[in-house]
Chain A
Amino acid sequence: MFAAVLCCGLRVKSQPIHTLSYFIFINNEWHDSVSGKVFSTYNPATGEKICDVQEADKADVDKAVQAARSAFSLDSVWRKMDASERGKLLFKLADLVERDRAYLATLESLDTGKPFLSSFFVDLQGTIKTFRYFAGWADKIHGSTIPTDGEYFTLTRHEPIGVCGQIVPWNFPLVMTAWKLGPALSCGNTVVLKPAEQTPLTCLYIGALIREAGFPPGVVNILPGYGPTAGAAIASHMGIDKVAFTGSTEVGKLIQEAAGKSNLKRVTLELGGKSPNIIFADADFELAVEQAHQGVFFNNGQCCTAGSRIFVEEPIYDEFVRRSVERARRRTVGNPFDPTAEQGPQVSVEQQRRVLELIQSGITEGAKLECGGKAPLSKGFFVEPTVFSDVQDHMRIAKEEIFGPVQQIMKFKTIEEVIERANNTEYGLAAAVFTTDLNKAMTVSAALQAGTVWINCYNALSCQCPFGGFKMSGNGRELGEIGLKEYTEVKTITMKMSGKKS
């Protein structure tokens, strides 16, 4: 299966990129930028330019919002469509993504540097499943009828919010696009979506599939561009009713502030993390070593869920470090299209520099560098799998989100101590606990301040389960039924009754 998929991917790779991925997508049509500007997107494995893409700015956002507004007008095709039909369109979209799975996985690997097999099996799988999951919700978004006091009858309708601005990151361009579009469209909203400037290609290709699936013009509009220009225009736009952002905590704050200053648009944020992973001495050791390893190194460490603070109980600490180092040394780094490569490059030279700088700070502050720590190749933005032991909570590598392949391993003695240390962060996205003791598992998972707690697993995300952050890791939740709440306004309709009837 792997070999077949890989051959398939490599065959696609030799084909030219669909030129549709170069333009701005508004009203189901392809547009040049108003300003006439373009920007380049690079292959991080080689540092070479892939192509130029039209650069959306405020004027293009205005055009897109206008299209989305008119697609959302009261008598539009989209607003008059049966909910079950919206579901069918999303199903169709999932089928089309499945049809073009190898092409999209190739494009994703080319643009992000993530290993092709990961793109194919993780990103594409997640994208398809998310679209299908929310397709099923479209005609199941129930309001309620409410037994109000007095001579009244009340019912609620869960209506779409309107035009949703969505800003997605470069680490999972397709999956994040699906997480945004799936619930927004299922609930009947229209969308203005900006992919990251580093990775616009797959998202724009989804535009072509949106059109092919038969979504009415203006329902989805895609604007490749930069944060400070197109992104800022979305966040502060008076014609956008809601904004959803996935990215850094720093930018998340700007988005929320812009929403407050403009029209109080609804805001959901999925931001950074410094997620603790707690390994008790009674845990399945092999499983814990491997899951902790994957939890931090997956996607070249570029995950908001990265399990970057590993707290290991004292009796097994030394052995855990030894085995983790051994595993990290075995981690193969290379060309994303090499099937043996577990790790590709960081997404950009800026990210590579930032990761190397944080590694340096770890060394300076006295953590023990067990392996890695360097940029191994002259070409591309690679960083070696890196493990630090003897990390103290006050060190920068224990506090800041690194977003790179760097594992911090700390020691703990008691359950109370480790809970306190795990929670002692501004973040609260994910956490994990490894133990075979039921009481420990439940006590720790109840005590951890995190939107997701994994027990004896890591990165076990599924589109059926809510995902989001406590504290400064975000606002609101994506996925699951609860994800629908973020894309609906509840309307209470109360009717005066002439006589009370029960």
Chain B
Amino acid sequence: MPGPPSLQIHRSASRSKPCKYCRTINSHSLPPAPDMKTQPISNYLLQIFINNEWHTSIKGKKFPTINPATGVKICDVEEADKADVDEAVRAARAAGQRGSEWRQMDASSRGRLLHRLADLLERERAVLATLESMDTGKPFLHAFFVDLDGSIKTLRYYAGWTDKIHGKTMPVDENFVCFTKHEPVGVCGAIIPWNFPLLMFMWKIAPALACGNTVVIKPAEQTPLTALHTGALIKEAGFPPGVVNIVPGFGPTAGAAIGSHMNIDKVAFTGSTEVGQLIKAAAAKSNLKRVTLELGGKNPCIVFADSDLQSAVEETQKGAFFNQGQACTAASRVYVEEAVYDEFLRLSVERAKNIAIGDPLEPRTSHGPQINQHQFDKILELVASGKKEGATLECGGCAVEDRGLFIHPTIFSDVKDHMRIAKEEIFGPVQCIMKFKTQEEVIDRANGTQYGLTAAVFTRDIHRAMSVSAALEAGTVWVNCYNALHAQAPFGGYKMSGNGRELGEYALAEYTEVKAITLKLSERLTL
């Protein structure tokens, strides 16, 4: 049995005192091609992070994390369970109690800490992108340019908000004075998925910390490594102990403990709609903790005949195949107007066949493996259902030979709305292309789903762009673009795609309690 593969780290000669947790690399311009030879990942970073310290699990259990590109185990990680979550909550509660360092800190100083964390992420950018690529199978360059960029920008964006979370004063009747304070909710539980581990980590902790909360966060069991590495950076940045606690573990144990914990005031979850329902039920059964959910999607793209067809083909395809289709925003239902349907299909298939599949760490690769066997099997099962239900398989539809968890980018045409591939979230590289005739018809069909996360419309007509985007039941509508996510813009789902919004100013509302303070005066104030 070979030892765990590990990271070759380029040490910066200019750094005189290397931190024991962190490795410095040159992260200017293009990242250095990582070389997987020596230096194991520090043992510290494979443990539970509570109170700015590294802990083994109380039960003494560990779980392996696997490189999906090779099927080889990367390392074992300490497995947090209910007892560890209890410890983490105790730490978070102490860190957030009245009079604590964190609660007494100037809001602008919280912003400074978030900025420092962003700086550290930037310093460790290549290391984190490598870890992310190894642990998820996503192409290294995507990890470096998309995940890391988004993570850093999210931190910087919320760093700026800390001292701008304004309450109001209200002109109440009679001899009263009323003002509001937007206070932190308290201990926030966060449960994040394996498709964008680091980015989702930042979407959760950045607004939570900006508002002054403390956090207990559980990374997905498939992808705990970047979250744990970030723990070391949180400590280095100077966050007080207990402000962020990281509990790697499984959903039914650690995740459920968070969902039903009596001392957690809010839970934010990103993952499947099925588990989202469990979380909300657990929150209700325990202490009515506040809940925000970012769940699944079956997102429609509507391509009108007057659109820039080439661009529509590219954007919808990136929308469908980005991150191997493992995105809640995946553009998995593409409705194309009849007049351009054949041409759109031809261009899409041609393009899909040219996608470079390969080793995620190889810079030319744009398509890696699925995350694990379970997901792989589920995708191929859905592909089989598509064929059986009468959709035309245009390309792909099978695994890459001798390459473990890789699946060829797959396109189905002649897809009907009742087929399973048109209704269920596939979470794999499968694009379903449908035909439509009228605007009214396509709006009805696009909205005919339990989901409502994102949608897109491709047209040059301003009226159509505006009226279709107004009619779509989705938290985000992209016009002539796809996956155009920004830290400044809110993101979240209608219907069963979620509750609440992340990002933008809106997310601050999810991490604050509003307190109205009313003073009775002896006489009425002059206006």
Task: Tell me the A residues contacting B by CB distance below 8 Å.
Answer: 83-84, 87-88, 91, 129, 132-133, 135-140, 142, 153, 438-439, 442-443, 446-447, 464, 481, 495, 497-499, 501-502
Residues of B with C-beta under 8 A to A91: 115
Contacting pair A481 B160 (CB below 8 A):
no
A501 and B470 form a contact (CB under 8 A) = yes
* B463 CB contacts on chain A under 8 angstroms: 497-498
Residue pair A498, B467 in contact (C-beta under 8 Å): yes
In the docked arrangement, what's the CA distance between A224 and B454, Å? 54
- CB of B154, distance to nearest CB on chain A (Å): 11
Q: Is the CB of B521 within 8 A of A88?
A: no
Instruction: Say which residue of B115, B160, B523 sits within 8 Å of A443 (CB atoms).
Output: B523
Q: Do residues B466 and A136 form an inter-chain contact, with CB atoms below 8 A?
A: no
Contact with A along B485-527 (1 / 0, CB 8 A): 0011000000000000000010000000000000101110110
Cβ–Cβ < 8 Å partners of B111 in chain A: 132, 136
Neighbour of B166 across the interface among A135, A142, A481, A498, CB < 8 A: A481
What 8 pairs across the A-B complex have the smallest Cβ distances? A136-B160, A501-B470, A446-B525, A498-B463, A439-B522, A464-B163, A439-B521, A139-B488
The one of A87, A136, A442, A498 that contacts B521, using a Cβ cutoff of 8 Å: A442
Tell me if B304 counts as interface (CB < 8 A to partner A).
no
Contact between chains at A442 and B156 (CB < 8 Å): no
Please report the C-alpha to C-alpha distance between residue A421 and residue B156 in the assembled complex, in whole angstroms.
48
**Across the interface, do B526 and A447 meet the contact criterion of CB distance under 8 Å?**
yes
Instruction: Give CA–CA (A91, B462) in the complex, Å.
Output: 38
Tell me the smallest distance from the CB of A93 to a CB of chain B, in Å. 14
Cα distance A444–B161 when bound, in Å?
A: 32
A453 CA / B140 CA spacing, docked (Å): 56
In the complex, whether B344 has a CB less than 8 A from a CB of chain A is no
Encoded as 1 (CB less than 8 Å from any A CB) or 0, chain B from 154 to 184 comes to 0011011111101000000000010000000
B residues in contact with A129, CB < 8 Å: 108
The reply to whether the CB of B347 lies closer than 8 angstroms to some CB of chain A is no
**B505 touches which of A133, A140, A438, A446 (Cβ 8 Å):** A140
Question: Do A443 and B159 touch across chains, with their CB atoms under 8 A apart?
Answer: no
CB distance B519 to A438 under 8 Å? yes
Q: How many angstroms from the CA of A499 to the CA of B248 in the assembled complex?
A: 51
Contact of A137 among B160, B177, B467 (CB under 8 A): B160
Is B318 engaged at the interface, CB distance under 8 Å to the other chain? no
Please provide the chain B residues from 96 to 142 with a CB less than 8 Å away from any CB of chain A in the complex. Answer: 107-108, 111-112, 115
- Per the bound structure, the CA–CA distance linking A464 and B471 in Å amounts to 40
Cross-interface CB contact of B160 among A140, A498, A501, cutoff 8 Å:
A140
B464 to chain A: closest residue by CB:
A498
Whether A88 lies near B467 (C-beta < 8 A) is no
Report the minimum CB–CB distance from A152 to chain B (whole Å). Answer: 10
CA distance A442 to B525 in the complex (A): 8
* Residues of A with C-beta under 8 A to B163: 133, 136, 464
Question: Which B residue's beta carbon lies closest to that of A499?
Answer: B467
In the bound complex, how far is the Cα of B187 from the Cα of A118, in angstroms?
A: 40
Partner of A139 from the list B157, B519, B523 (CB cut-off 8 Å) is B157
If A136-B160, A137-B164, A447-B526 touch, whether A438 touches B521 (CB-CB below 8 Å) is yes
Q: Quick check: is B153 within 8 A (CB to CB) of the other chain?
A: yes
Known: A88-B156, A501-B467. Is A140-B161 also a contact (CB below 8 A)? yes
Smallest CB gap from B522: residue in A? A439
- Could you write out 27 A-B pairs with CB less than 8 Å apart? A83-B488, A129-B108, A132-B108, A133-B108, A133-B163, A135-B160, A136-B111, A136-B163, A139-B487, A140-B164, A142-B505, A153-B466, A439-B521, A439-B522, A439-B523, A442-B177, A442-B521, A443-B523, A446-B525, A446-B526, A464-B107, A464-B164, A497-B463, A498-B463, A501-B470, A501-B471, A502-B470
Looking across the interface, which residue of chain A has its beta carbon closest to that of B462? A495
The CA of A458 and the CA of B498, in the complex, are separated in Å by 48
Q: Which residue of A lies closest to B163 (CB)?
A: A464
List 4 additional contacts besides A140-B488, A439-B521; criterion CB under 8 Å. A84-B156, A133-B163, A137-B160, A443-B525
In the complex, how many angstroms separate the beta carbon of B461 from the nearest chain A beta carbon? 9
Question: A residues within 8 A CB of B519?
Answer: 438, 442
Contacting residues, chain A, for B164 (C-beta < 8 A) = 136-137, 140, 464, 481
Q: Tell me how far the C-beta of B159 lies from the nearest C-beta in chain A, rounded to whole angstroms.
A: 7
CA distance A498 to B177 in the complex (A): 46
Which of B153, B161, B462, B523 contacts A84, CB < 8 Å? B153
Chain B residues lying within 8 Å of A497, measured Cβ to Cβ, are 463, 466-467
Chain A nearest CB from B438 CB (Å) reads 14
Within 8 Å CB of A140, what residues of B?
Answer: 160-161, 164, 488, 505
Instruction: Please give, as numbers and ranges, the residues of chain A lying within 8 Å of B526 by CB-CB distance.
Output: 446-447
Tell me, in angstroms, the Cα distance from A450 to B27 when the chains sit together: 52
**Min CB distance, A270 to chain B, in Å?**
22
A139 and B160 contacting across the interface, CB-CB below 8 Å = yes
Query: Closest CB-CB distance, B58 to chain A, in whole Å?
Result: 40
List B contacts of A499 (CB < 8 A): 467
Contact B115 A495 (CB under 8 A): no
A153 to B465 Cα, complex, angstroms:
12
Q: Which residue of B lies closest to A495 (CB)?
A: B466
